[in-house]
Amino acid sequence: MRPKLVLYVENDNAMKEVKAYAAHSEKEDLKPFTLERREVLPDDVELEITYCGVCHSDIHTVHNDWGGTKYPVVPGHEIVGRVTKVGENVQNFKEGDLVGVGCMVDSCQTCSACKEDLEQYCENGAVMTYNGEDKHLGGHTYGGYTEHIVVDKNFVLSVPDTLDEKSVAPLLCAGITTWSPLRHWNVKKGDKVGVIGLGGLGHMGVKFAHAIGAETVMITTSPSKKEDAKHLGADSVLISKDEKEMEKHAGTFDFLLNTIPVGHDLNPYINLLKRDATMVLVGAIEPLDPMHGGGLILGRKRVAGSVIGGIKETQEMLDFCGEHGITCDVEMISMQEINDAYKRVQDGDVKYRFVIDMKSLKES
């Protein structure tokens, strides 16, 4: 077990200042900020951040929608960059490597979850990339809306050089959030898979299900999304407001990936499942409408939930993306456009993920 609290910050040389963007309260926009990063320790990797994705979780945290936000908050957990320095114990990474950092930067490494490569469910609490407990410097962690980050080697991911790095960034959250349930519930070639909701998560779910070889059905309330869904790899599109079409598909799905980000009625979707099939929620971290137990009981069906994956599984996902040429559909922005981007995400006005070109931060 490696030590969890390193008491080494004894002089000004132990830290360095870097540019960032931060929010100082739930009612304020993000603005330029300077933070301190630790110098590289023996087990650390330092990277210069080239691109950082904008996740809806960033917005929820900045606005304190879930409570407990620690200000100033520097969001960003979809991080891609180049290694600039490694500690003496680091063997798997070297200067210049293309790497990623996702939603976690540490965990206890000793509990049953961590031993099973499920650090996201660490029983002692995984350290989130931002707004987590900084076990080195004290205070809380700062995320990827910044020039550099220093991360324990066990939480750094190798990014295939064959992929467009700016479009890789959202894979570190949106990608693994949809990949993990597909793998855990053993979705395979020939299965009929429904992806509910076409947004940042849903568009990745469609891409992954299609690449696995499943019969992929995009389930949406919006007929206008049919063309996009098929372009992303959907074999067909089911409009959930069309009761006749929903009834035709009743009892036919092996798996449903539900990416709707707000509370909603699950009952129509439960009706789509085969006996013994599962619907997994990855989007709605809030109360849901009442669910009728009969829909589950009469078909031995399941409704489950899933969050991101562990480091091993995330690396597996990135390698799969490298083999199949899968990245996210992104719209590039500068750091100075972040507050407008937040408003557009809340309005659903992005296809399908914003990514910040971090070179723009140097202009702040």
In a domain, 96, yes or no: yes
Residues 198 and 341 in one domain: no
Alpha helices in the chain (DSSP H): 56-62, 112-115, 165-168, 174-184, 200-212, 226-232, 243-248, 267-270, 293-297, 311-324, 338-346
Cis, bond preceding 72 (omega within 30 deg of 0)? yes
First to last CA, the chain: 41
The H or E element that residue 280 is part of is strand 273-281
The CATH number of residue 146's host domain is 3.90.180.10
CA-to-CA distance for 48 and 162, rounded, in angstroms? 19
In degrees and rounded to multiples of 5, residue 108 shows phi and psi of: -70, -25
In degrees and rounded to multiples of 5, residue 8 shows phi and psi of: -125, -10
CA-to-CA distance for 23 and 111, rounded, in angstroms? 34
Rg (CA), the chain: 21
Q: 118: which residues sit within 8 A by CB, 6+ positions away? A: 310
Residues 135 and 233 in one domain: no
In a domain, 218, yes or no: yes
Tens-digit pLDDT profile for the chain (364 aa)? 443 433 333 334 468 899 999 999 999 999 999 999 999 999 999 999 999 999 999 999 999 999 999 999 999 999 999 999 999 999 999 999 999 999 999 999 999 999 999 999 999 999 999 999 999 999 999 999 999 999 999 999 999 999 999 999 999 999 999 999 999 999 999 999 999 999 999 999 999 999 999 999 999 999 999 999 999 999 999 999 999 999 999 999 999 999 999 999 999 999 999 999 999 999 999 999 999 999 999 999 999 999 999 999 999 999 999 999 999 999 999 999 999 999 999 999 999 999 999 999 987 6
Tally of domains in the chain: 2
In a domain, 316, yes or no: no
Q: What pLDDT is recorded for position 8?
A: 37
In a domain, 32, yes or no: yes
Residues 199 and 169 in one domain: no
In a domain, 269, yes or no: yes
Q: The pTM is what?
A: 0.94
The CATH number of residue 295's host domain is 3.40.50.720
Q: What pLDDT is recorded for position 14?
A: 63
Residues 69 and 180 in one domain: no
Residues 218 and 286 in one domain: yes
Q: Residue 68 sits in which domain range?
A: 12-173+329-363
- Residue 175 to residues 2, 115, 249: CA-CA distances in angstroms? 29, 23, 27
Q: What pLDDT is recorded for position 15?
A: 80
In a domain, 35, yes or no: yes
Q: 259: which residues sit within 8 A by CB, 6+ positions away? A: 178, 195, 196, 197, 199, 201, 202, 205, 282, 283
161, with CB counted inside 10 A (0-12, 13-18, 19+), is exposed
Residues 129 and 33 in one domain: yes
Residues 215 and 91 in one domain: no
Q: What pLDDT is recorded for position 4?
A: 40
Q: Are 282 and 258 in contact (CB under 8 A)?
A: yes
Residues 110 and 139 in one domain: yes
Residues 29 and 152 in one domain: yes
CA-to-CA distance for 232 and 165, rounded, in angstroms? 19
Q: What pLDDT is recorded for position 12?
A: 42
Residues 148 and 47 in one domain: yes
Q: What pLDDT is recorded for position 364?
A: 65
Q: Are 208 and 328 in contact (CB under 8 A)?
A: no
In a domain, 52, yes or no: yes
Residues 107 and 231 in one domain: no
Q: How many CB atoms lie within 10 A of CB 297?
A: 9
Residues 274 and 350 in one domain: no
**DSSP characters over 50-73:** EEEEE-HHHHHHHTTTTS-PPSSB
Residue 8, CA atoms < 13 Å, CB-side half-sphere: 14
In a domain, 323, yes or no: no
* Closest C-alpha among 214, 284, 197 to residue 253: 214
